[in-house]
Amino acid sequence: MPRMKAIAAAVQILQREGVRHAFGVPGAAINPFYAALREHGTIDHVLARHVEAAAHMAEGYTRTRAGNIGVCVGTSGPAGTDMITGLYSAMADSIPILCLTGQAPTARLHKEDFQAVDIAAIAGPVTKLATTVLEPAQVPGAFQQAFHLMRSGRPGPVLIDLPFDVQMTEIAFDIDAYEPLPVHKPAASRAQIDKAMDMLAAAERPLIVAGGGIVNADAADLLVELAELLDVPVIPTLMGWGVIPDDHRLMAGMAGLQTAQRYGNANLLASDLVLGIGNRWANRHTGGVDTYTRGRRFIHVDIEPTQIGRIFDPDLGIVSDAKAALRLLVEAARERRDAGRLPDRGAWVGQCAERKRTMLRRTHFDDIPIKPQRVYEEMNRAFGKDTRYVSTIGLSQIAGGQFLHVYRPRHWINAGQAGPLGWTLPAALGACVADPETTVVALSGDYDFQFLIEELAVGAQFNLPYIHVLVNNSYLGLIRQAQRAFDIDYCVQLSFDNVNSPEVGGYGVDHVKVAEGMGCKALRVSEPAEILPALEEAKKLMAQHRVPVVVEIILERVTNISMGTEIDNIVEFEELAARGEDAPTAIGALDLEQMQFLD
């Protein structure tokens, strides 16, 4: 049996489990890992500028390609604590990432050693497993178990904490004798699926709510096949957005309090049965549970047993991986179709499509300063169906969710539950590493952008080109809007007179200068007619220089974006679209002139 340092065995296992990239920041306690990485030579490393960003890069990397597991690496003490937000975000959205931390030597763990902190205890609630490996010969088993856990059941992150001496100790290890552990995913039975099909058949106005579990299971094609076989409209959740293309005739919009369309909520409220697959009835999707559930029955399919009944008691709960359930649902649907037993859904599908054509918000404003709605209209014009969007939180992300279009799974990459400011930029870099061929467009408000702004230098250093649309209202816009309920506008202003850049006119930070200082390209736009040319120019600059390109769009300072606390009571702040030209890039809006308004 070959003998090697435990950390060398760990690096060989990473390779065997499919890891080709790592994101991190070295430090004394994790240097043995870096030495092993260098010696092994097949895993590329992206040096982050902040350790939190390394965790978000890993998450963007995982989300971009089925089967990917992003790895983030840091030293002991503050590096681990910096990555906690990334672990929380990954845990919340069921995204597997592997976080590796160095640790003080085992003999000194209780001596308040320099940068010794009990990171496994701190990370416990935000990981599927967080462990400090104390026996060198247990290192291979810890990694084997980590990959098994990250891939099994509801996916999620794992942290492995490696004391310095544990990394350095020689153990017997032969990679040829290593096998990844089998992955466990519960699967629906045919009896369960038949019950679901009976309930669907008995409904008059059924809908499918398609969650991120379908993306994780790489089962979007099956979802679309099922919807088409049954002729049932689909409401994707924010995490599932893209599993059915926005322009598919059965795509019925998103429902929810913020990232939703008017027609998505109206369609959900008109339904009498909802089949939820790989979703978790998130509160910004459901709003008040009474409003959401009243008058309709529910089937809930999820891979995680404790998710069934967590939010409300469904009429039928099935614990299953989304792909396994969808395979059987498609099989059962085909049989019923061939036997002529599928109900005709034409009228219901037509009603949903009509709402999608008519219940639109206005995007076409010519105002200067620019209204945010216009930005998304121009983005729809500039960016094709294969664009991969990355965003996190804020009015920018909410309006993006309302107005942008997504056509493919993994093309809307969003930290849905945790919403940690700063996530967008590093997650976009991780997406670029995972798939350099696809155009990545990040969307941030000014505050989100400033949170981890230093990561622009990583994009410049490692030639990770992408376009960052930065909508600048010089405000913590979402929080300013929320403070209306308190009748305050307090601690949410970002404006100041920049003594170096009077041309930014009181908007404070000169993002163009900062971006250029980081080695990136940047453009600033203040008029609606300039947006599209700037986005086109950004594409050219990105191709030419192979660095991130920031397009800063100066917005009006105060715009309230549609939202509410119940899905039947969303507050609209702008006038709605009345003619096709009010919302020229909405799906189906060209037909708007001939629309018959629904009451």
If the CB atoms of residues 308 and 492 are measured against ligand TPP, the closer one turns out to be 492
Q: Is 476 a catalytic residue?
A: yes
- Least separation in angstroms between CB 548 and ligand TPP: 17
Range in contact with ligand TPP (rule: CB under 6 A) among 50-58, 65-73, 270-278, 418-426: 418-426
**Distance of alpha carbon 190 from alpha carbon 197, whole angstroms:** 10
Residue 199 has φ and ψ, to the nearest 5°, of: -65, -40
479 binds ligand TPP (CB under 6 A): yes
Contact 545, 465 (CB under 8 A): yes
Bridge-based pairing state of the strands 158-163 and 170-172: unpaired
Q: Does 446 engage in binding with Mg ion (CB under 5 A)?
A: yes
Q: Does 92 contact ligand TPP by CB under 6 A?
A: no
Which stretch in 102-110, 169-177, 446-454, 539-547 sits in contact with ligand TPP by CB under 6 A? 446-454
445 binds ligand TPP (CB under 6 A): yes
Q: Which stretch binds ligand TPP (CB under 6 A): 69-77, 167-175, 414-422, 580-588?
A: 414-422
* Three-point CA angle 60, 61, 67, nearest 5°: 125
Element (H, E) at 21: strand 21-24
Tokens 């493919």, located at residue: 408
Note whether 420 binds ligand TPP by CB under 6 A: yes
Q: Which of 109, 269, 479, 576 is catalytic?
A: 479
Judged by CB under 6 A, which of 475, 531, 551, 587 binds ligand TPP? 475
d(CA 439, CA 460): 16
β-sheet bridge partners, residue 103: 163
- 479 is an active site residue: yes
The one catalytic residue in 421, 456, 547, 567 is 421
Please select the residue that binds Mg ion; options are 12, 358, 473, 559, rule is CB under 5 A.
473
- Binding segment for Mg ion (CB under 5 A), chosen from 115-123, 153-161, 468-476, 496-504, is 468-476
Residue pointed to by tokens 């054509």? 357
**Interacting residues with ligand TPP between 516 and 575 (CB under 6 A):** none
- Of 375-394, binders to ligand TPP (CB under 6 A) are 393-394
- Would you tell me the crossing angle of helices 372-382 and 528-545 to the nearest 10 degrees? 50
Which residues does residue 99 pair with via DSSP β-bridges, in sequence order? 72, 159
Q: Is 421 a catalytic residue?
A: yes
Question: Which region among 74-82, 226-234, 371-379, 474-482 touches Mg ion (by CB under 5 A)?
Answer: 474-482
> CA 560 to CA 473: how far, in whole Å?
11
365 binds ligand TPP (CB under 6 A): no
Among 241, 451, 475, 507, binds Mg ion (CB under 5 A): 475
Contact 391, 419 (CB under 8 A): no
| CA 432 centroid distance within chain | 14
Name the DSSP letter for residue 345.
Answer: -
Place of tokens 């989300």: 63
477 binds Mg ion (CB under 5 A): yes
Considering only residues 92, 478, 554, 592, which one is a binding residue for ligand TPP as defined by CB under 6 A?
A: 478
Beta pairing partners, 475: 493
97, 476, 531, 567: the active-site residue = 476
Task: Check residue 168 for interaction with ligand TPP (CB under 6 A).
Answer: no
253 forms part of the interface with ligand TPP (CB under 6 A): no
The backbone torsions φ and ψ at residue 493, rounded to the nearest 5 degrees and listed phi first, read -80, 135
**Number of residues forming the site for Mg ion (CB under 5 A):** 5
Q: Does 552 bind Mg ion (CB under 5 A)?
A: no
| Element counts in the chain: helices (H) and strands (E) | 24, 21
86 touches ligand TPP (CB under 6 A) = no
DSSP 243: S
How far apart are the C-alpha atoms of 227 and 254, rounded to whole Å? 16
Residues, the chain, total?
599
Q: Which does 421 bind (CB under 5 to 8 A by kind): ligand TPP, Mg ion, none?
A: ligand TPP
Question: Which residues of this protein are in contact with ligand TPP, per CB under 6 A?
Answer: 393-396, 419-421, 445-448, 473, 475-479
Residues forming the active site: 25, 51, 421, 476, 479
